Amino acid sequence: MSEATQSLYERVGGEPAVARMVFDFYRRVFADPLLSPFFQGIEADRLQTMQREFFSAALDGPVRYTGRPMRQVHAGLGIELRHLRAFLDHLMETLEGSGLSEQDRYDIHSRIHTYADEITGRIAPDG
């Protein structure tokens, strides 16, 4: 299949590559003193499984996300734009080591960024 017809999920390297990416990404997130307090007491295994599904689905992989809705999961945690920015910076650093083209890396970033308002609760649920 040519690069143009492959999904982002396939270009990244499929399931094993997404699993590695999520693992590496969370290592960075948990090591960041700005972000780690949010994850105190959270079950890391479940979080990584859910994130793996979420990322796979967001990259058009053959995976269905079975976790809770983004807004519901993050409501009331006090996540501000600076936290979201730091989180996405770690994502970009993770992707830089992945061998993906710059175009693919920015595509992934913008897909994940689509959820920004749901994560920070900036818009009321009904609009």
All residues at 6 or more sequence positions from 79 whose CB lies less than 8 Å from its CB, including other chains = 38, 119, 120, 121
Q: Which residue is nearest to ligand HEM (CB)?
A: 67
Q: How far is the CB of 60 from ligand HEM (least distance, A)?
A: 15
> Counting every residue, how long is the chain?
127
For residue 95, what are the CA distances in angstroms to 23, 55, 64? Answer: 12, 13, 22
Integer Rg of the chain from CA: 15
Nearer to ligand HEM, 27 or 46 (CB): 46
Minimum CB distance to ligand HEM, residue 2 (Å):
29
Which of 26, 40, 45 has its CA nearest to residue 94? 26
Q: Considering the complex, state which of residue 4 and residue 104 has its C-beta at the smaller distance from ligand HEM.
A: 104
SS3 46: helix
User: Could you tell me the smallest distance in angstroms from the CB atom of residue 70 to ligand HEM?
Assistant: 6
Q: Which residues form the interface with ligand HEM (CB under 6 A)?
A: 35, 38-39, 42, 46-47, 50-51, 54, 67-68, 73-74, 77, 79, 83-84, 87, 112, 115-116, 119
Residue 104 CB, shortest distance to ligand HEM, in Å, is 17
